[in-house]
């Protein structure tokens, strides 16, 4: 199965961002991609306004997703991204959506909000409280995560124990001292913890690192992007997951009870 991660600089104009997403979807579909992962919080972003993502929030039936859903009807690909959806006055939910066949087939409200490194996502964003259900793409079971979720190994592990063979991760990984090192290390660690593939798409720009990655179940980078707009591809195989889990049966060798995520 061919998978892809696409990254770009999100602008303050949601219509421009939607057109970029549609273009990336068209390019990926033309390359026979089954699963495309795009970055986090794609409606709008402004380097001078940290609250722009929430201020620009749209309902799931808003104009942004309608444009992407129209493109989704033209292909058989599964596309994953996150947008901010209004909740109460001045607040929103950071919501991962899965698009296929012109429909939203799954959604997930980000569990772990980025209250770290002098940033407080929870100031304007409401956290979810439910571990997302797995989806399936061409027979492969897929777990859903968003950005800061990567730092919590129990979430990747919980989904692997439910049967996930690949984890998707839309992100807007903020620049900072050692942050690129954290990114690369955590991606490899979560792949090894869970013996899953990971498809991680990172927004690029002045404040975020880009560096989208596709990682195999042994923590090896199969494809990686730099800091500019780019689409990366790799082929993933269920047989590889089974082979790795035979050689490295960490899911079977665990001595602790499965984590409970409420």
Within 71-205, strands assigned E span 78-86, 92-100, 103-109, 115-116, 119-120, 125-126, 135-137, 140-144, 166-171, 197-202
Report the relative pairing of strands 2-7 and 103-109 from DSSP bridges: unpaired
Q: Is 204 a catalytic residue?
A: no
Helical H segments across 105-231, by residue range? 153-161, 179-194
3-state helix, strand, coil in the chain (%, to 5): 30, 30, 40
SS3 at position 83: strand
Residue keyed to tokens 């039936």: 61
Given 21, 71, 110, 203, the catalytic residue:
110
Strand 166-171 and strand 197-202: pairing?
parallel
Contact at 8 Å (CB) between 94 and 110?
A: yes
Cβ atoms within 10 Å, residue 119: 14
β pairing state of 125-126 and 2-7 = unpaired
From the list 21, 40, 141, 196, the catalytic residue is 40
Catalytic residue among 21, 147, 196, 204: 147
Residues 6 or more apart whose CB falls under 8 angstroms from that of 159 comprise: 131, 132, 134, 143, 144, 145, 167, 194, 196
The residues assigned a catalytic role are: 40, 110, 147
């Amino acid at each position: 199965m061919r998978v892809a991660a696409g990254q770009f600089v999100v602008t303050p104009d949601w219509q421009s961002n939607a057109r970029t997403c549609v273009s990336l979807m068209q390019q990926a579909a033309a390359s026979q991609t089954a699963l495309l992962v795009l970055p986090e919080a794609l409606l709008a972003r402004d380097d001078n306004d940290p609250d722009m993502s929430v201020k620009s929030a749209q309902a799931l039936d808003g104009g942004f997703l309608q444009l992407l859903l129209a493109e989704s009807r033209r292909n058989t690909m599964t596309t994953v991204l996150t947008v901010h959806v209004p909740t109460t006055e001045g607040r929103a939910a950071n919501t991962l959506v899965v698009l296929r066949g012109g429909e939203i087939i799954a959604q997930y409200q980000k569990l772990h909000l980025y209250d770290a490194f002098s940033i407080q996502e929870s100031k304007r964003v409401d956290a979810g409280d439910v571990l997302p259900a797995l989806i399936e793409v061409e027979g492969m079971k897929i777990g859903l995560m968003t950005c800061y979720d990567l730092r919590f190994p129990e979430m990747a592990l919980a989904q692997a124990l439910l049967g996930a063979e690949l984890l998707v991760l839309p992100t807007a990984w903020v620049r900072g001292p050692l942050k690129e090192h954290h990114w690369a290390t955590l991606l490899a660690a979560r792949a090894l913890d869970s013996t899953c593939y990971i498809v991680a798409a990172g927004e690029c720009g002045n404040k975020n690192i880009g560096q989208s990655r596709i990682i195999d179940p042994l923590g090896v980078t199969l494809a990686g992007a730099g800091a500019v707009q780019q689409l990366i591809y790799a082929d993933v195989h269920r047989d590889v997951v089974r082979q790795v889990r035979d050689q490295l049966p960490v899911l079977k060798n665990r001595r602790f009870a499965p984590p409970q995520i409420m």
